[in-house]
Structure 1
């Protein structure tokens, strides 16, 4: 991202005006390394921090389809308008965020599109130290669930839009030495020119501090894809890791890990991914390695 902003204007001291290419992110699912709500990655401009009530803030932005990666050379001539209404207090310990997008352009397959999203964050859910996030999102045409563009032309080849829905439930916690994050998600995608499919994922990562700077991590994930008229694809993954960080909490970074991961998938998944991990009919893999995760 490359952008500039300005704040502290006398006539609007709380607002931030910005222009350029920025992520404009809201919230991710850490263990998936996936931002479910964001509207950046393209050239745009906007205003952040419009007060709504005592605590909520409204962000507004306009984007073109151009970016530092693909310039603006595409026949779609797509434009996008987004809003983020963030952190609206709705109950004790609970905050609501609403997002929306509308897309206009010239598309060879499918139509313009719209997207709506809802995120409810609840602190101390059921017990102290347990946090809950509920995502509910829907989109149509060439609008993505996350609020960005979906299915822009690729090297002059028209891409399809889609009608999409997603619900994801995420919890995270740190209770004594025991921390982690877990999720369950369900997503449907109905492309304009192909069969509808449904993705389901359940998984989690837990950590347990065994010493001041040492924690054990266990990660398990189960994913499936059901395409209308085809056999269901299934992928399972498990990881065991030993991690070192400034303390033994789940969220503490930087973190150095030594890990062992085991993956297995069924024959339909291998056939659908024959050019990558399913090459030659392969249905399992094991990896061993080390990595560092550092945030800035």
Structure 2
């Protein structure tokens, strides 16, 4: 009996140590996050006091006169990420469907590993490839065709107007799309594979086509995972730095054409932080970092709310 009591005491001690350790690291992460927020706010205080809310809406960026505005960088960050998702999500969906439903068994594993390996390629490699290989080909063969094909079409004609330089907002968005495809497609493939085979076999037995099985069985069953994969790709695109810096043109301007040079928050920080002189200049760059943090935070909050709404609707329908 004493041996049993001794063993139970040891187990309780081990459980207490485990609970205490996990609680410590959980609060440690929160403490680090709080420290990052506080340091960003403290560093951005001079800029906040000097420009106020106008820093977000202003398009001025002149270090000589110490006039700074974040809107070109914010706009470039949001627009490049949105365009990247427009291309990446359908392609990733197709890749995941092919790997789980259509691909021969012998091809699934090597193709899946190859796609996952793309996620491990450093972003600077994507940037160099985009600048020296993709941008020249895009300028010579794609941009002139897009300009001529959309000429005279309202809105589209303005978006794809401009000299075929190869670098710019559209090029950066395409490079971002290539970078986030491995992340989104891997998540989608994993969640598609957890669909019970009985559900799909039942649909096939009733005469459903492959597309009907995917759209009416696989997608509803895995919609939470699909949204999670898309949000993972969006978070990757919002914070990307080096690849975008190489090909976006790094111009603090707002142009209607997607072929014109632009910038993002990450690209601005990468280009100018080491050259920043003066308290206000440095503080403005830190405030840009704070704004990127806030944008990412709101994206995560919106994605969580969307997942909760999907779960609530699912319960209502059932």
So what's the TM-score if we normalise by structure 2?
0.23
Name the larger-Rg structure: 2
Higher helix share: 2
Q: Indicate the structure whose relative CO is greater, using CA pairs within 8 Å and at least 6 residues apart.
A: 2
So what's the TM-score if we normalise by structure 1?
0.24
